[in-house]
Amino acid sequence: MTDTTLPTPDARCDTIKVGIVSISDRASSGTYEDKGLPALRDWLGHALYNPIDYVERLIPDEQATISQTLIALVDAGCNLVLTTGGTGPAKRDVTPEATLAVAHKEMPGFGEQMRQVSLKFVPTAILSRQVAVIRDECLIINLPGQPKSIQETLGGLKDADGKQVVDGVFAAVPYCIDLIGGPYMETRDAFCKGWRPKTALKSKRI
């Protein structure tokens, strides 16, 4: 998948403001090309009918900088912030600590499910420390650093026939955003189906 193949958003849907943050010492210093931000844009563009207003940041693995960036994105009106990188056990991996430091509520189920998805692919998934939190009316989710892992944890695992075997965490994101007062997110179900109770369905595309 590349940005040039993204489907056209549906103008009837709410525009959502999404913060995407790639956290990497080497990419932020220009040592190598960042792949996190393009991977996030690409996945979200395929997953959602909504027009998306991105606020992008490429920053180093500095705890204070990460926390300040997350606060600024929430204050700027983002209802969803996705970070990539800095979630392992290495000394410079401080994304979870920085995220928890700005939290009003912790959402542990996201991290638990991401590790369950990743364990289908690699045994080292147990080393991942991703967390998700709510700050004001924004959901913040830490994702892995590799584009392939981003796709797997967000979208889950399908079998050879395209049947969902394990749900990714994004299936729960639209309803979570509803519950914290954000815009109505509409998923392209063939790519990634969001789940809501029937009483919460109110598509603008019908």
pLDDT, tens only, 11-28 = 999 999 999 999 999 899
Contact 92, 65 (CB under 8 A): no
- Mean pLDDT, residues 123-136: 96
pLDDT for res 4: 55
Judge if pTM exceeds 0.85. yes
Q: Which domains does the chain have, with CATH numbers?
A: 8-198 (3.40.980.10)
* DSSP state for residue 8 in the 8-state scheme: P
Which residues face 143 on adjacent strands?
84
- What are the CA-CA distances from residue 189 to residues 59, 88, 93, 133 (Å)? 33, 31, 34, 25
Can you spell out the DSSP letters for 166-206? Answer: EE-GGGGHHHHHHHTT-----B-TTT------GGG---TT-
